[in-house]
C-alpha cells in the first residue's frame, strides 16, 4: 500500500494558495523545533470571514500538503468555524497521513490559530485566550 494518499501527493505536487498576502490582516508563523520545518499563514479577513489565505511552508511534503488542504478548508469560512479546524480534520480531508507524519498537520492548525490571534490582537478584538496555545509550536511533535 502506498504510504501517502493520492490527495496528499496531489496537494504536495500542486499546492493551493501558495504565496504571500502583502495586505494580510493576520499572519501566523510556527515552527517545529524537532525537524526545523516552518509554516507561515496569511489571512485576509472581512466581515468576520476569511476572504483570502496564502501560505509559505519550508518543510516536508506532508507539511506542504497539510498547509494546502488547511487553506482550502478555511477559505470563505467564518472565523468561528476556522477556530474549530483541527489537525485531524486536515489529515482526514487528505485521506489520512501516516502516523509518523501526523505532527506535520499540527503545524497547519497552529499556524492558522497564530494568524487569527495576530488578527484579534492587531485589531483590539477580545478573544478567548484559552483556545490558543501559549507558545505556538508543534507541541504534540515527538518525532523529528
- What residues make contact with ligand FES under the rule CB under 6 A? 32, 35, 37, 59-60, 62-63, 101, 104, 107
**Nearer Cβ to ligand FES, position 15 or 45?**
15
**Cell reading at 82:** 476556522
104 is catalytic: yes
CA atoms within 13 A on the CB side of 8: 19
In the complex with ligand FES, the residue whose CB is nearer, 39 or 79, is: 39
Q: Least separation, in Å, of the C-beta of 104 and ligand FES?
A: 3
If 0-12 CB within 10 Å is exposed, 13-18 middle and 19+ buried, where does residue 44 land?
middle
- Is 138 a residue of the active site? no
**In contact, 34 and 59? CB cutoff 8 Å:** no
Q: In the complex, what is the shortest distance from the CB of residue 1 to ligand FES, in angstroms, rounded to a whole number?
A: 20
Cα(135)–Cα(72) distance, rounded to whole angstroms? 25
Cell of 3: 504510504
Tell the smallest beta-carbon distance from residue 51 to ligand FES (Å): 27
Catalytic residue among 60, 104, 138, 141: 104
Which CB sits closer to ligand FES, 35 or 83?
35
Asked if residues 13 and 68 have their Cβ atoms less than 8 Å apart, the reply is no
Which residues are part of the catalytic machinery? 35, 104
Amino acid at each position: 500500500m502506498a504510504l501517502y494518499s493520492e490527495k496528499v501527493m496531489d496537494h504536495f505536487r500542486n499546492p493551493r494558495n501558495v504565496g504571500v498576502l502583502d495586505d494580510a490582516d493576520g499572519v501566523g508563523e510556527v515552527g517545529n523545533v524537532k525537524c526545523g520545518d516552518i509554516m507561515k499563514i496569511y489571512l485576509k479577513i472581512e466581515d468576520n470571514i476569511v476572504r483570502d489565505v496564502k501560505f509559505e511552508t519550508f518543510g516536508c511534503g506532508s507539511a506542504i500538503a497539510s498547509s494546502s488542504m488547511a487553506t482550502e478548508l478555511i477559505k470563505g469560512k467564518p472565523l468561528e468555524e476556522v477556530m474549530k479546524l483541527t489537525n485531524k480534520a486536515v489529515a482526514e480531508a487528505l485521506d489520512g497521513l501516516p502516523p509518523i507524519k501526523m505532527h506535520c498537520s499540527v503545524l497547519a492548525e497552529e499556524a492558522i490559530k497564530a494568524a487569527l490571534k495576530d488578527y484579534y490582537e492587531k485589531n483590539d478584538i477580545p478573544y478567548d485566550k484559552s483556545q490558543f496555545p501559549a507558545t505556538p509550536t508543534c507541541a504534540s511533535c515527538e518525532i523529528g
